[in-house]
Amino acid sequence: MTARSQSAQYYKDKRDLLVRIFGSDVHIAEDAVYVGEVRYPVLDDVIVTLPAGQLPADLRSGARQDDPEFAVDVQTSFGDQWKQFPEVTEEHRHEFAQYFDLVDMASLGDAVVADLGCGSGRYAACAAPHCGSLVLVDFSDAIFVARLNLLGTPNVVFIMGDLLDLPFADGAFDFAYSLGVLHHLPIPALDALRRLMPLSPRLLVYLYYALDNRPRYFRPVLAAADNLRRRLTQLDSPRLQKVSVWAITLLAYWPLARLGTMLGPLRLDRYVPLAEFYRGKTLRRLHQDAHDRFLTSIEQRVTRREVLALADEEWSVAVSDGLPYWHFLCERR
C-alpha cells in the first residue's frame, strides 16, 4: 500500500467525523479530501486547508498572498521552533494538567475536541487518550511534527489551517482549546477568540497576562524584554538570533528559575520575574520558551478584567487562579 493510499484509508475510516467538522458532504480521494467541490490536498495524513499563497515556503510555489490577517513571519518562527523542540516531555504533561484544572476530563470521553494551534502536539498527546476524537490544527510546518508525535493514535485528525479562516461548521466540536496561540495573531487576541466561539460550546484558552496580578516593578522588566524581542525579530541573521536566545536562556531564564526553586518553599518566588512558573524546569524547557518568547514578532497581553468582560447573556467565563496566567474557560450558557 502506497503512502497516498494509506492516507486515503486513514481518512476513509474517519469520513463521518470529517462530515461533522466541515458540515458538508465529504469525498476521500487518494491524495485529497473533497468538501463539496473544494479540494483539500492530503500530505502525510495532514489535510491542507491553507490557500497556496499561505503555505510554508517548502510546500508552496508562487508568491505569498498579501493578507493583513496572516503573519508569515510568525508562521515561519513557530514552524522552526517545533522542528527544533519536537519532543513531548513530562514537563509538558505537568503543564497540561495546570491548563486543564478547569475541565472535567471525564466529560471529554465521547467528545469531538479541537486543539486550535497545536504546535508540535505536546498537549494533544496528553489530551488524545481522554477524547472521543481529537482534531489538531496548525498553520505551520509544526502540524507535521504533531503527526509524528501522535503516530499510532487512532482518534486524531491533522489539519493545516489558519485559525482566522477555518472552513469548519458552526458547532463542529464539543470542546476546543487554544493554549498560547491567539496572542501571536495579527488581530486582537480576544477578537480572534470571538471568531472561534461558534465552533464549540466550550473553549479553554490561555493568553499571556498583562502582569495585572504582579508588583509594579515587573512592568519595566517586561518593557525591556519587549524591546529586546522586537530587535531580535528584526535581525537578518538566524545564527545571531539563535546565539541571542541561548544568551537569554543562560543569563536570565536559568538563574531566575533556580532562584525560584530556592524561594518557592518560602512562597516568595512570585515576586521575582519568571521565577514562579519556571522553577524546577530543565534547561531545554527554558531554552524552548526563550525561543518562543523572543523570536516571535507579535505578542499581545490581556488583563483578567478584559477576559471576564467576554461574559455576556450567551457566554460564561471562568478564569483560573492558578498558573499559567491567564487561562480560562468559556462556556455557552
Q: Amino acid letter at 26?
A: V
Give dist(CA 48, CA 315) in Å, integer: 31
Residues 93-149: tens digit of each pLDDT: 999 999 999 999 999 999 999 999 999 999 999 999 999 999 999 999 999 999 999
pLDDT, average across residues 3-32: 85
Which residue type sits at 248? I
What CATH class is the domain 3-206?
A: alpha beta
295-316 burial code (b ≥16 CB/10 A, e <16): bbbbbbbbbbebbeebeeeeee
Question: How far is residue 333's CA from residue 310's CA, in Å, rounded to a whole number?
Answer: 13
pLDDT of residue 53: 72
Q: Residue 220: what residue type?
A: P
Q: How confident is the model at residue 66 (pLDDT cuts 50, 70, 90)?
A: low
Distances 7 to 122, 154, 187 between C-alpha atoms, Å? 22, 13, 34
Q: Is the pLDDT of residue 263 over 60?
A: yes
pTM for the predicted model, two decimal places: 0.94
- Alpha carbon distance 186, 299 (integer Å): 9
Say whether pLDDT at 45 is over 60.
yes
CA separation (Å) from 208 to 40, 50, 302? 33, 26, 6
Identify the band that residue 2 occupies on the pLDDT scale cut at 50, 70 and 90: very low
Is 1 a residue whose pLDDT tops 50? no
pLDDT for res 50: 93
Pairing of strands 38-43, 32-35: antiparallel
Give the per-residue pLDDT at 171: 97
- Three cell numbers written together for 189: 487576541
Mean pLDDT computed over 230-258: 97
Q: What percent of the chain has pLDDT over 90?
A: 85
Q: What is the 3-class SS of 302-328, one letter each residue?
A: ECHHHHHCCCCCCEEEEECCCCCCCEE
Q: What digits encode the pLDDT tens for the residues 301-325?
A: 999 999 999 999 999 999 999 999 9
Cell of 258: 533556580
* 77, pLDDT greater than 90: no
What pLDDT was estimated at residue 91?
96
pLDDT tier, 12 (very low <50, low <70, confident <90, very high otherwise): confident
What's the pLDDT band for 61 if we cut at 50, 70, 90? low
For 103: left if phi > 0, alpha if psi spans -120 to 50, otherwise beta; the answer is beta
**DSSP bridge partners of 204:** 177, 329
d(CA 283, CA 249): 8
User: Using CA atoms, how far apart are residues 166 and 91, in angstroms rounded to an integer?
Assistant: 31
pLDDT in tens, 145-165: 999 999 999 999 999 999 999
Q: CA-CA distances (angstroms) from residue 316 to 1, 203, 236, 239?
A: 49, 11, 45, 46
Peptide bond into 198 cis (omega under 30): no
**Residue 144, CA atoms < 13 Å, CB-side half-sphere:** 14
Is the separation of the CB atoms in 160 and 50 below 8 Å? Answer: yes
| 84 pLDDT above the threshold of 60 | yes
- Which residues have C-beta within 8 Å of that of residue 129, sequence separation ≥ 6? none
**206, 180 Cβ separation under 8 angstroms:** yes
Helices (H), the chain: 3-12, 15-22, 72-84, 90-99, 124-127, 142-149, 189-196, 218-233, 238-248, 254-263, 275-278, 283-294, 304-308
**Is the separation of the CB atoms in 68 and 186 below 8 Å?**
yes
The structural domains of the chain, with segments of one domain joined by +, span 3-206, 218-294
What's the pLDDT score for residue 76? 83
Confidence (pLDDT) at 6: 60
